[in-house]
Structure 1
Amino acid sequence: MSTTTTARTFIGLNAAFSALTGLELIIFPFAVAHLMFSDPAGWTTLALRLLGVGLVLFALDLLLMATNRFVTKGEVMLIILADIGWLIASAALVLLTGYLFSDAGLLMIGIVAAFVAVFAAGQYVGAGRIVAPQSRVSIRSKNGKLSASVRRVVAAPAETAWEVMTDHPGYADVAGNISKVEVLAGEGIGMTRRCFGPKGENWTETCNQFQEGRSYGFRIHTEAPDYPYPISDLQGRWSVEPKGPGSEFSIDIEAKPKGGFLSRALFASVARRQFKSILVDLADAWAKRMEHEART
């Protein structure tokens, strides 16, 4: 189970509660104003509606975090600070302007604050359980291309890591988006292999760089009729080098999405999280296999 599960669960609950509260304020500001305030003035309806909009936007931000497997401890702590700010503001409203509210209004403020306090406490516990992934991922966009890389130090010699990395049929066992790999012809530069997706879609890849024991690269033939991703050009490089008693391997991917500016911008925003998830899972699975091979 991911170390971010607890934090993301409470962030998700926080998002749902914020969204429901915000929508209620947007849709029924007049009714809420007459319920909360002793003598509702004209500004109260507008204030409640603006608060509702803010809560919905806050909920959308929380939803993105709740679905991010790699949410950081710092990001969770920022949400906790926002919740604490809400609690402080609620207390200030009651102490300084409590006379403006009805008994029902004061009760509503207290109930909402109680929920926020529970979310803050759960998020704090969850933040304490987050462990940063050992696989270090970097993703950036430049000149219409998306570049992604992952690096991982393993307790295995470079020779062992290289053997695992060049086990092409075994690549399907560690890559979550590939179900089968078969070598079609050759070895080294010019070698071709065929990769199959989870639904049987397939494409070929050609080795375009090779340095024995150090690195190799492939150009992926994205022009295949059933290639499943909106990418016009895709290349990858896999490398390993000694590091202390073990080694460090890396995967570098460069992708050019299909379409115009809007398509590329959308691809860059959506693909960042997908690339990170795929690369971390692949690096973790490879590291586990490399270290197992080194022990046997």
Structure 2
Amino acid sequence: MSQSTAAARTFLKMNGLFSTLTALPLLLAAGMVAPLLFADPAEWAAMGLRGLGLGLIGFAGLLFALSKYKYVSRVIVNDIVVLDALWVIGSIVLVVFFGRILTTDGVTVVVAVAVVVAVFATSQAIAAARIETPVPVADVTFRDGTLRASVTRTVRAPAEAVWEVMIDHPAYADVADNLSRVDVLSGDGLGMMRRCYGPNGENWEETCDLFEPGRAYGFRVHTEAENYPYPFAELLGRWSVEPHPAGAEFSIEITAVLKGNSLSRWLFAAFARPQFKTILIDLADGWAARMERGAAATCDTTAASAVAEHC
């Protein structure tokens, strides 16, 4: 699915670069640009151009951020298309109904920018239509200082086979992009302790606080430890599996209570949401592939044994 977003992310990045290049003269030389654009520039013209430049920089920042999101959605890209279309419409209105306030060069600049924006809008719309929805259903919300992330994935494997993959804790790091290693420290089932390692060597301990054999388990992260590396006051994870007509369906739910004041929590959540969603989607797909391979291997082994017994 990430390949289906490649074109859209490329156009978003190019749009962001063009917005930045358009904004820089307005921010850095508004006093010189105003007479070039307006036939009789008012005193507020330069200030207005600077304000427009700041808006374009903010827009460019949004575009760059979206272009880095591996699973940017069709809806989000189309929202950008709408904003670009509004710019084009506004430019047409300005030239057609208020063209007298512009110089000849001003009209040329407004039309040229609108044409480029229209090209981006069209390209983004075409690219958005090709975006495929990920198979895993992922959701990330933030409310009252708590971040909740979840993903659900159907898999063509029996629940028993899925469960065996889910409780292979060391192998969890093979499919979780935010982990490089998982070590079981002690125990098995409820009360089990494991240590998880991040991609840069940071590590933390977790204790199993929920265990329903064959169905669900959960871990509480020791966020109170002095060396805990992330800004979470509490962090809980829940993993579960249920039978499904396709085979089985597993779910992962993460609940994180953020540290800091309201502004810092909101900023962290804003930047963390797409990262959480990407990690969970990739994890669910990676896990599903492993589960289906394991189920297929088991079926092949069973079939071979049956043939051997028959012979």
TM-score normalised by structure 1 residue count? 0.90
- How far 1:260 sits from its partner (Å)? 4.3
- The 5-angstrom pairing of residues 257-296 of structure 1 reads 257-296=258-297
The one-letter amino acid paired with 2:230 is Y
Structure 1 residues 144 and 104: CA distance shift in structure 2, 3 A: closer
SS at match of 1:169: helix
Q: Deviations over 1:135-176 (max 9, x none)?
A: 112223344332221111112211111111111111110111
Structure 1 residues 46 and 191: CA distance shift in structure 2, 3 A: closer
The answer as to whether partners of 2:179 and 2:199 remain within 8 angstroms in 1 is: yes
2:129 pairs with 1:128: yes
Rounded to whole Å, the distance in 2 between the matches of 1:36 and 1:263 is 41
TM-score normalised by structure 2 residue count? 0.86
Rounded to whole Å, the distance in 2 between the matches of 1:39 and 1:166 is 73
Structure 1 residues 162 and 47: CA distance shift in structure 2, 3 A: same
Rounded to whole Å, the distance in 1 between the matches of 2:4 and 2:166 is 27
2:98 pairs with 1:88: no
- How far 1:56 sits from its partner (Å)? 2.8
- How far 1:54 sits from its partner (Å)? 3.1
Give the match for residue 179 of structure 1.
180
2:79 pairs with 1:72: no
Q: How many residues align?
A: 296
- The 5-angstrom pairing of residues 75-154 of structure 1 reads 75-154=76-155
Structure 1 residues 89 and 255: CA distance shift in structure 2, 3 A: closer
The answer as to whether partners of 2:220 and 2:236 remain within 8 angstroms in 1 is: yes
- The 5-angstrom pairing of residues 1-296 of structure 1 reads 1-42=2-43, 44-296=45-297
Rounded to whole Å, the distance in 1 between the matches of 2:270 and 2:97 is 44
Rounded to whole Å, the distance in 2 between the matches of 1:267 and 1:97 is 43
The one-letter amino acid paired with 1:199 is N
Rounded to whole Å, the distance in 2 between the matches of 1:119 and 1:55 is 15
Structure 1 residues 24 and 295: CA distance shift in structure 2, 3 A: same
Structure 1 residues 38 and 269: CA distance shift in structure 2, 3 A: closer
Rounded to whole Å, the distance in 2 between the matches of 1:23 and 1:68 is 25
The one-letter amino acid paired with 2:79 is L
Rounded to whole Å, the distance in 1 between the matches of 2:50 and 2:248 is 57
The one-letter amino acid paired with 1:147 is R
Rounded to whole Å, the distance in 2 between the matches of 1:145 and 1:89 is 40
Structure 1 residues 25 and 251: CA distance shift in structure 2, 3 A: same
- How far 1:67 sits from its partner (Å)? 2.7
The one-letter amino acid paired with 1:230 is P
Structure 1 residues 47 and 199: CA distance shift in structure 2, 3 A: closer
Structure 1 residues 75 and 31: CA distance shift in structure 2, 3 A: same
- How far 1:41 sits from its partner (Å)? 4.2
Q: Deviations over 1:91-126 (max 9, x none)?
A: 333333334433322221232122212211221222
**Which segments of 5 or more consecutive residues in structure 2 lack a partner in the other structure?**
298-311
**Which segments of 5 or more consecutive residues in structure 1 lack a partner in the other structure?**
none
The answer as to whether partners of 2:154 and 2:246 remain within 8 angstroms in 1 is: no
SS at match of 1:181: strand
Rounded to whole Å, the distance in 2 between the matches of 1:195 and 1:41 is 62
Q: Which stretch shows the higher mean deviation, 234-243 or 174-183?
A: 174-183
The one-letter amino acid paired with 2:180 is S
Q: Deviations over 1:23-48 (max 9, x none)?
A: 32233223222212334344543443
Structure 1 residues 42 and 267: CA distance shift in structure 2, 3 A: closer
Q: Deviations over 1:160-198 (max 9, x none)?
A: 111111111111101112111222222111222222222
The one-letter amino acid paired with 1:278 is I
